[in-house]
């Protein structure tokens, strides 16, 4: 199996490191419009060589590890691929991508979202085993060709990922609450503090809690702008519901209703009964 990865940042670079270890993968090459990313990917030995986007069409499997708006653009430039080729995207939104796939290559396409990553980006952020034992959501898989389904399942199984299946619109609503809203909040927390505190105070007083809450604000603005745009409706709903929760807690604190404050925090503790 010869594989081409479009986008050699955190997700694409980490994927390349893992794919190279699989015995059924003959070669892993990369394509990236960023010249520095190209140089870094070769220096870091993420891929065997850099190829032009047009040349990815010659490969058995094409991974699209690029911002979600870029995925749609790339798909529209892959309409002449071989019928046996498999295209797998790694985007954090799914419904708009799925509905934008040209009908002529719908069977070639597998919509996936590996639920993994870090706040860092670029080829130097690539880490081995980023995908190991993580979840991957496969959306509307029944609309992909039988061969393409088998290829995607085989690869994700070999990467030791836990596969989940759902409709693309269901994925986007869940992702808005579990991933996209937390990123929006993290950016907002960072900006709130930056507007109120000077550098010295932030360095002196920022402990684990603030660092944890603001960590996601290191994420790529370009990538997350695209995600927010594509999942706007679900994200706005999630933010509004969060605002209701925060307003309720604010009101309880203002009214010195400490039992209600305590109850709110106890209810929040229950999340980690699920996660831990």
Over the stretch 176-205, which tens digit does the pLDDT of each residue have? 999 999 999 999 999 999 898 888 888 788
Res. 3 pLDDT band, cuts 50 70 90? very high
Res. 57 pLDDT band, cuts 50 70 90? very high
Q: Verify that 51 and 87 share a domain, yes or no.
A: yes
Q: Verify that 34 and 86 share a domain, yes or no.
A: yes
CATH of the domain at 47: 3.40.50.720
Q: Verify that 81 and 202 share a domain, yes or no.
A: no
Does 258 have pLDDT greater than 90? yes
CATH of the domain at 220: 1.10.3660.10
Q: Verify that 161 and 38 share a domain, yes or no.
A: yes
Does 276 have pLDDT greater than 90? no
Of 105, 139, 166, which marks where a domain is finished? 166
What's the average model confidence in pLDDT over 94-103?
96
Nearest Cα neighbor of 112 from 145, 80, 139, 140 is 139
Q: Verify that 14 and 105 share a domain, yes or no.
A: yes
Q: How many domains does the chain have?
A: 2
Does 207 have pLDDT greater than 80? no
Residue 213 confidence (pLDDT): 87
Of 127, 146, 166, which marks where a domain is finished? 166
Of 166, 181, 207, which marks where a domain is finished? 166
Task: Tell me which long-range contacts 32-36 makes (C-beta under 8 A, separation of at least 24).
Answer: 32/6, 32/7, 32/8
CA distances from 236 to 194, 241, 242 (A): 24, 9, 10
Residue 134 confidence (pLDDT): 95
Q: Verify that 155 and 186 share a domain, yes or no.
A: no
Does 80 have pLDDT greater than 90? yes
| C-beta of residue 94 within 8 angstroms of C-beta of residue 168 | yes
Residue 46 confidence (pLDDT): 95
Q: Verify that 157 and 212 share a domain, yes or no.
A: no
pTM of the model: 0.88
Beta bridge partners of 61: 3, 86
Q: Verify that 143 and 176 share a domain, yes or no.
A: no
Range of the domain at 196: 171-275
Q: Verify that 117 and 199 share a domain, yes or no.
A: no
Q: Verify that 125 and 206 share a domain, yes or no.
A: no
Residue 8 confidence (pLDDT): 95
d(CA 83, CA 78) in angstroms, rounded, equals 11
Q: Verify that 162 and 176 share a domain, yes or no.
A: no
pLDDT for 217-250, tens place per residue?
988 898 899 999 999 999 999 999 999 999 999 9
Does 160 have pLDDT greater than 90? yes
Residue 203 confidence (pLDDT): 78
């Amino acid at each position: 199996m010869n594989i081409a990865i479009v986008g050699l940042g955190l997700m694409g670079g980490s994927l390349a490191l893992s794919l190279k270890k699989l015995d059924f993968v003959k070669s892993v090459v990369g394509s990236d419009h960023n010249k520095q990313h190209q140089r870094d990917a070769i220096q870091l030995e993420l891929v065997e060589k850099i190829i032009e986007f047009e040349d990815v069409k010659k490969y058995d499997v094409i991974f699209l590890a690029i911002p979600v708006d870029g995925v749609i653009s790339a798909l529209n430039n892959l309409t002449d691929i071989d019928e046996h080729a498999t295209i797998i995207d790694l985007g954090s939104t799914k419904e708009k991508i799925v509905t934008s796939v040209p009908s002529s290559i719908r069977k070639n396409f597998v919509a996936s979202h590996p639920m993994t990553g870090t706040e860092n980006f670029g080829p130097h952020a690539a880490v081995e085993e980023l995908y190991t034992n993580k979840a991957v959501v496969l959306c509307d898989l029944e609309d992909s060709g039988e061969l393409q389904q088998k290829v995607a399942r085989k690869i994700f199984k070999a990467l030791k990922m836990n596969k989940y299946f759902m409709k693309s619109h269901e994925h986007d609503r869940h992702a808005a609450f579990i991933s996209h809203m937390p990123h929006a909040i993290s950016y907002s927390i960072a900006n709130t503090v930056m507007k109120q505190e000077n550098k010295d105070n932030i360095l002196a007083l920022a402990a684990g809690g603030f660092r944890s809450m603001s960590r996601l604000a290191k994420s790529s603005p370009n990538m997350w702008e695209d995600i927010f745009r594509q999942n706007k409706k679900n994200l706005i709903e999630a933010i509004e519901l969060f605002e209701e929760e925060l307003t309720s807690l604010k009101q309880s604190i203002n009214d010195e209703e400490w039992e209600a404050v305590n109850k709110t925090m106890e209810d929040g503790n229950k999340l980690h009964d699920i996660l831990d």
